[in-house]
Amino acid sequence: MSFAEVLKETVDKVDGAVSAMIIGADGITVQEYVNEKLIDLTELSAEASAMIKDINLAALNLGIGEAREFSIISDKCGIIMRKITSDYYLALIIHPDGNYGKGRFILKTAVPKLASEF
């Protein structure tokens, strides 16, 4: 299954999800799928690099191990990011009233489909 197919399937399976993307820890977008544009994905990709570094540093400082998933929920949207490998993340963008629990579950099941390609 191609990256594009996995991203589309991920968005289609989650109520309220509008886009998904694979982002490198360096902030470079690998692939994206957009059904509806809630935020600028180029900006998200650029900001993701700093977020990933900060969250991994916080997890290290807390002694809780490597962070596998994190989310930001705002008035405009929610962003859930899940680690694919140490260098790549899968991000899902959801409407504020979307199904975040299902989004987290679908990301967890999508990651193995993507990990084998890295």
Instruction: Please give the pLDDT value at position 117.
Output: 86
Instruction: Please give the pLDDT value at position 118.
Output: 85
Instruction: Please give the pLDDT value at position 116.
Output: 87
Contacts 24+ apart (CB under 8 A), 113-116: 113/1, 113/6, 114/3, 114/6, 114/22, 114/84, 114/88, 114/90, 115/84, 115/85
Instruction: Please give the pLDDT value at position 1.
Output: 79
Dihedral, CA of residue 104, residue 107, residue 108 and residue 110, to nearest 10 = 160
Tokens for 52, please give them: 């990933």
For the chain, which residues score pLDDT lower than 70?
none
CATH of domain 3-113: 3.30.450.30
Q: Report the candidate in 47, 46, 106, 60 with the shortest Cα–Cα distance to residue 82.
A: 106
